[in-house]
């Protein structure tokens, strides 16, 4: 491991707020029946779980292709193989950093090849933003579409507050940019770059994003089915849960979404009579999947490390 990487991780570990997720996780574990949890492990349908894990590789390829399309629109040209390797090595850092901030290490690759910081940052931001927009829209639509569930106030009012939150965040960002001269100048460059994205590129990027999320929803459903949760909860509701978990990954309070993921799963699945032990097992299977993704990304790191 390079000196730069070691220095980066040391600074990261000094940020105590990234431990919040771990505190939440251990708090949740305090009343878990570990005997029941152990028994649940023996009932895992490994065929479903292996099928779920097998989706990671093609999903990474499709995600890399979307990023490549964004770069193509900005006249930043790399081969498909290079895009996959850069995306994969950055994914490794994203998994071990709070808020997946490590994903932006892709910018380092582009800077090495003499692309401007603003231009490089923008294309990675747009790639991440595509996922975030889809997640927020899907959650908003789900809040309106899902039937009322015991103990969970899903209704139009909740959905309205959800969209108001999005508007407040957008307005806050606008005022932040407006008051800072340096940010205003960068924003002008961003606008000029965005003009390069014609409707064909936008349709293409949106279509690829739908494919990526469909693969993720199938992965999430198969993982749930491997321990029998699909008998209690349908595909659409599990997809809604998955989208909320992805949004939570952007909170810089945990690594690998530990703590926040369990909180969301318990809040959303408990009303269906699913035990805490089953929910913790579900979360552990997702964690195992993320570790498998980290191993896959590590091979990309060895071929093309960003740091």
Residue 251 confidence (pLDDT) above 50: yes
C-alpha to C-alpha distance for 128 and 218, rounded to whole angstroms: 20
Residue 280 confidence (pLDDT) above 70: yes
pTM of the full structure? 0.82
C-alpha to C-alpha distance for 215 and 222, rounded to whole angstroms: 11
Q: Which two tokens stand for residue 122?
A: 């923008």
Dump pLDDT digits (tens) for 163-209.
666 666 666 655 555 555 555 555 555 656 666 667 787 888 899 99
Distances from the Cα of 197 to the Cα of 49, 58, 74, 210, angstroms = 39, 26, 8, 18
Residue 125 confidence (pLDDT) above 60: yes
pLDDT, greater one: 139 or 209: 209
Instruction: Give pLDDT, residue 180.
Output: 56
pLDDT band, very low/low/confident/very high, at 140 (cuts 50, 70, 90): confident
* Mean residue pLDDT across the chain: 81
Instruction: Give pLDDT, residue 93.
Output: 87
DSSP-based helix, strand, coil % in the chain, nearest 5:
80, 0, 20
Residue 13 confidence (pLDDT) above 60: no
H/E stretch holding 269: helix 260-269
Q: What's the whole-number mean pLDDT along residues 141-145?
A: 78
Dump pLDDT digits (tens) for 80-106.
999 999 999 999 888 888 778 888 888
């Amino acid at each position: 491991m390079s000196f730069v990487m070691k220095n980066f991780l040391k600074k990261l570990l000094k940020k105590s707020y990234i431990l919040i997720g771990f505190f939440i996780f251990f708090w949740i574990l305090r009343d878990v029946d570990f005997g029941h949890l152990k028994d649940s492990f023996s009932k895992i349908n490994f065929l479903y779980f292996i099928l779920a894990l097998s989706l990671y590789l093609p999903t990474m390829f499709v995600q890399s292709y979307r990023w490549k399309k964004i770069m193509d629109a900005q006249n930043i040209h790399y081969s498909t193989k290079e895009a996959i390797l850069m995306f994969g090595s950055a994914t490794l850092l994203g998994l071990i950093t709070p808020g997946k901030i490590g994903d932006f290490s892709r910018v380092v690759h582009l800077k090495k090849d003499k692309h401007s910081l603003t231009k490089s940052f923008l294309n990675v931001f747009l790639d991440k933003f595509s996922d975030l927009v889809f997640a927020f829209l899907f959650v908003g639509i789900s809040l309106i579409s899902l039937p009322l569930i015991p103990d969970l106030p899903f209704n139009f009012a909740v959905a309205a507050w959800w969209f108001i939150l999005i508007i407040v965040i957008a307005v806050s960002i606008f005022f932040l940019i407006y008051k800072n001269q340096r940010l205003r100048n960068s924003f002008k460059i961003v606008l000029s770059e965005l003009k390069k994205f014609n409707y064909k590129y936008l349709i293409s990027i949106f279509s690829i994003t739908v494919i990526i999320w469909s693969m993720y929803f199938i992965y999430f459903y198969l993982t749930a089915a491997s321990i029998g949760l699909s008998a209690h909860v349908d595909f659409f509701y599990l997809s809604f849960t998955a989208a909320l978990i992805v949004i939570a990954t952007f909170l810089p309070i945990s690594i690998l979404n530990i703590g926040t993921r369990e909180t969301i799963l318990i809040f959303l699945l408990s009303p269906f009579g699913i035990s805490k032990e089953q929910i913790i097992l579900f979360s552990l299977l997702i964690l195992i999947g993320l570790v498998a993704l980290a191993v896959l990304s590590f091979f990309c790191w060895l071929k093309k490390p960003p740091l």
